[in-house]
A = this chain, B = another copy of it.
Amino acid sequence: MIDVVLADDHPVVRAGLRAVVDGQPDMRVVHETGTAEDLLAWLDGGGRADVVLLDLRFGDAGPGSTRLGGAEATGTVVHRHATPVLVVTTYGTDADILAAVEAGATGYLLKDAPTEELARAIRSAAAGEVILGADVQRRLLGRMRSPGENLSARELEVLRLVAAGRSNDAIARELFVSVATVKSHLAHISTKLGTQSRTEAAATARERGML
């Protein structure tokens, strides 16, 4: 019997995951929670599980929230409790997936995966295997080819303003530097991202979840 913990802040999705798990003869839900804190408290309090199903977008509500994110929760669960974490989320940007995998997630699935694939993934995770959905793997491979993300803090700052639609001049005034500096940063950014223009750089940044 595989003991599963559900960690998702959407009640509906939680109910759906429960329905899938309960529909399998060889697994059951032993705990269900809507916050990362609660999940960790339960595990710290002696809770035992074979697999944790976790929404990566845990606590995504506000920018000022001090709540734990899905990636941090994943890392803590994996390292402190040696429990496999299967990340199940709705939309997956490249950065999301990478963050989950780097945090030690055992698997990554999108919520539109068929229930049968989900059940298989849970069994694999419980057995310690690393499972990534076919589309996820494709994304990761495409992602690896492009070196990306060696951007310095300053460059990222500039890139963010570019993606917000500011002109070089506006960015220069906002960062208290000259236009030449902004252009210089932008040139470096485009080199690192392999883009041809500011707009393309902004689009790429968004696509990779770097904003």
Contact = CB atoms under 8 A, between A and B. Distances in A.
Contacts of A16: 10-19
Given A16-B19, A198-B199, A114 B165 contact: no
Nearest to A90: B90
Interface in A114-163: 114-115, 118, 162-163
A203 to B, nearest CB: 4
Given A9-B112, A90-B90, A206-B206, A195 B14 contact: no
A17 to B, nearest CB: 6
A102 interface: no
Interface in A90-121: 90-91, 111-115, 118
Given A18-B19, A90-B90, A12 B111 contact: yes
Contacts of A164: 203
A7 interface: no
A90 B13 CA distance: 10
A37 to B, nearest CB: 17
A200 B12 contact: no
Contact of A13 (B111, B167, B196, B198): B111
A90 B206 CA distance: 19
A202 interface: yes
Contacts of A163: 199, 203
Among A10, A115, A166, which residue has the most Cβ atoms of chain B within 10 A?
A10
Given A12-B17, A12-B20, 10 more contacts: A10-B111, A11-B20, A11-B118, A19-B19, A90-B90, A165-B201, A165-B202, A166-B199, A167-B196, A199-B199
Interface of A: 9-20, 88, 90-91, 111-115, 118, 162-167, 195-204, 206
